[in-house]
Amino acid sequence: MTVPILSVRNVSKYFGRRADRRQVLFDVSADVYPGECLAVIGGSGSGKSTLTRIMLGLETADSGTVTYAGGDIRRESGLVFQDPFSSLDPRWRVARSVAEPLRIQRRDLSRDEIDARAAEALRTVGLDPAVFLGRYPIDLSGGQAQRVAIARAIVNEPRVILADEPMSAIDVAARIQILDAFAAIRETRRETALVMVSHDLGVVQHIADRILVLHDGRVEECGPTASVLGDSQSAYARELIAAASL
């Protein structure tokens, strides 16, 4: 296999102090390869978000290492959060929100170039720029708002996209559009790695190449999607599978 773009080795993390000190990650190791989609799966409190925050340098590990095969990961990653309406500024039009990473990080680009890239990012996620660039978040449905947030995450062509529960605040019917948007990104940007955090195996089965199952801060299982879904060795993973079945 190729060299991982992101490599997590034996990471442990504690929160709180003294009597309240609690370990939330136990000796976790994981790799993310260019162009792959790794799903990090687990229930509430399993440590999913903490692990991904550590991956991106937004949180530091108490022990263990995170190696990034590139420059500054915080400049080369795009983030998608759970609730699009709290992650988009309600006073900004879509055009401004989507272009914000370029305005901050790409001072070399002209205004026309920035506009063109923002429009292109919207097209990738299935939104017509002519219709959506001028809108405010209040004029968007949940599915549309989340796709705007995804367009913002990809506009500067990051090497890693991290999506933390991007569908749990979205209507079931609109989740399909979010899945389609991620599929389009994977189609058009083949080197970009996607890390998707979710508690729902049903959501990630369509998009993940590999699944990492976290349970109470420990890696319960990590393997190709088909083998985790079809032939899991872990009782916890089997419970997640049952919960996602119709």
Partner 1 sequence: MSVEIRGLNVAIGGKTIVRDVDLNVGDGERVGLVGSSGSGKSMISRSIMGLLPANAHVSGSIRVGDRQVVGMRDAELADLRGRYMGMVFQNPAASLNPVTTVARQIALPLRLHYDLTKTERLDRVRAMIAKVGLPDDVLGKYPHQLSGGQQQRVGIATALITSPRFIIADEPTTALDSIVQRQIVDLLVSLVDDAGASMLFITHDFAVLAHATTRCYVLDGGRIADSGDTAALLDHPSTTQTDRLVSAARTLSLVESGEA
Q: Which residues bind partner 1 (CB under 8 A)?
A: 43-45, 141-142, 171-176, 179, 199-203, 205-206, 226, 229-230, 239-246
Closest approach, Cβ 143 to partner 1, in A, equals 9
Closest approach, Cβ 92 to partner 1, in A, equals 22
The residues facing 40 across adjacent strands are 197, 212
Closest approach, Cβ 11 to partner 1, in A, equals 22
Q: How far apart are CA 43 and CA 199, in angstroms?
A: 5
Closest approach, Cβ 133 to partner 1, in A, equals 23
Phi, psi of 135 (to 5 degrees): -85, 160
User: Pairing mode, if any, of strands 218-224 and 210-215?
Assistant: antiparallel
Other C-beta atoms within 10 Å of 28: how many? 24
Closest approach, Cβ 59 to partner 1, in A, equals 21
Q: Please, which residue, 45 or 70, has the CB nearer to partner 1? A: 45
Distances in whole angstroms, Cα of residue 28 to Cα of each of 8, 33, 74, 97, 225: 7, 17, 21, 35, 19
Q: Please, which residue, 46 or 77, has the CB nearer to partner 1? A: 46
**Helices 111-124 and 172-188, axial angle in degrees (round to 10):** 120
b/e sequence 175-192, b meaning 16+ C-beta within 10 Å: bebbbebbebbbeebeeb
Q: Please, which residue, 61 or 196, has the CB nearer to partner 1? A: 196
Distance of CA 122 to the CA centre of its chain: 17
Residue 27 zone, left/alpha/beta (φ > 0; ψ -120 to 50; rest)? left
Report which secondary-structure segment, H or E, holds 6: strand 6-15
Q: Please, which residue, 127 or 167, has the CB nearer to partner 1? A: 167
Closest approach, Cβ 145 to partner 1, in A, equals 11
Q: Please, which residue, 2 or 44, has the CB nearer to partner 1? A: 44
Q: How far apart are CA 166 and CA 160, in angstroms?
A: 15
Closest approach, Cβ 45 to partner 1, in A, equals 7
Q: Please, which residue, 1 or 172, has the CB nearer to partner 1? A: 172
Q: Please, which residue, 131 or 226, has the CB nearer to partner 1? A: 226
